[in-house]
Amino acid sequence: MKFFLDTANVDQIKRINDLGLCDGVTTNPSIIKKEGRDFKEVVIEIASIVDGPISAEVTSYDYDSMVKEALDIAKWADNIVVKIPMTEDGLKAINTLSKKGIKTNCTLIFSVSQGLMAAKAGATYISPFVGRIDDMGEDGGELIYNLKTVLDNYGLESEIIAASIRTNKHLEEAALAGSHIATIPGSLFEKLWTHPLTTQGIENFKKDWEAFINK
Ligand code: G3P
């Protein structure tokens, strides 16, 4: 499974990239707002750090404006993927962009049908939102499993990016369901490699070793 970082925080990206654990980055308007930096400048900086796909989202919602914006964003760096929302205009834009060889990530997917349509329209990536599905009292992990099954059934090449990952359980469910990728917020990522029993185990080893060498 590939790990993407769902953040535009350059310090976090550098730190996790240095561990060899960052296969790509996803951003959206809310994530860019949080960093308070110029959209184009921060995306170009991230694209220069990470050797993998960097998703940057359009901020317009009608077909003509989305395609115009996407054509511009796609020129910012070689590894840019343009994120397009799951709407009728979005599907049309994805279809046009895929014919031009521009990689797209169809975002805000909440059902198998939406994912299937995005894949058929030519999306390189499709992003179901696991946490937000759970918020509705449904099962985000099950959506990933079903979506993966359907893509496999028909040999569709789009890759699933499990998004809106908020907990260790979300990540594990996405991995068990066979998601190609999970995009993980930096703050959660740093919690995932720790475990209270690991910390306690190290403390015990240290204590025993000190006692042994000082006896
Ligand atoms: O990748 C989508 C993500 O940024 C949304 O997360 O937690 O706001 O549902 P959340």
Residue-range domain boundaries for the chain: 2-214
Mean pLDDT, residues 21-47: 97
pLDDT band for position 149 (cuts 50, 70, 90): very high
166 lines ligand 1 (CB under 6 A): yes
Q: Does residue 175 have a pLDDT over 90?
A: yes
Q: What is the pLDDT of residue 8?
A: 98
pLDDT score, position 190:
82
The per-residue pLDDT for range 55-98, each reduced to its tens digit, is: 999 999 999 999 999 999 999 999 999 999 999 999 999 999 99
d(CA 142, CA 105): 21
Stretch 180-195: mean pLDDT: 94
Helices (H), the chain: 10-17, 29-35, 39-49, 63-73, 88-99, 112-121, 130-135, 140-153, 168-176, 186-192, 196-213
Q: What is the mean pLDDT of residues 2-12?
A: 98
Q: How far apart are CA 145 and CA 211, in angstroms?
A: 50
Of the pLDDT bands very low, low, confident and very high (cuts 50, 70, 90), residue 210 is very high
| Cβ 164 under 6 angstroms from ligand 1 | yes
Ligand 1, atom 5, lies closest to the CA of 164
Cβ contact 48:83 at 8 Å: no
CATH class, range 2-214: alpha beta
Q: How far is the CA of 85 from the centre of ligand 1 (A)?
A: 13
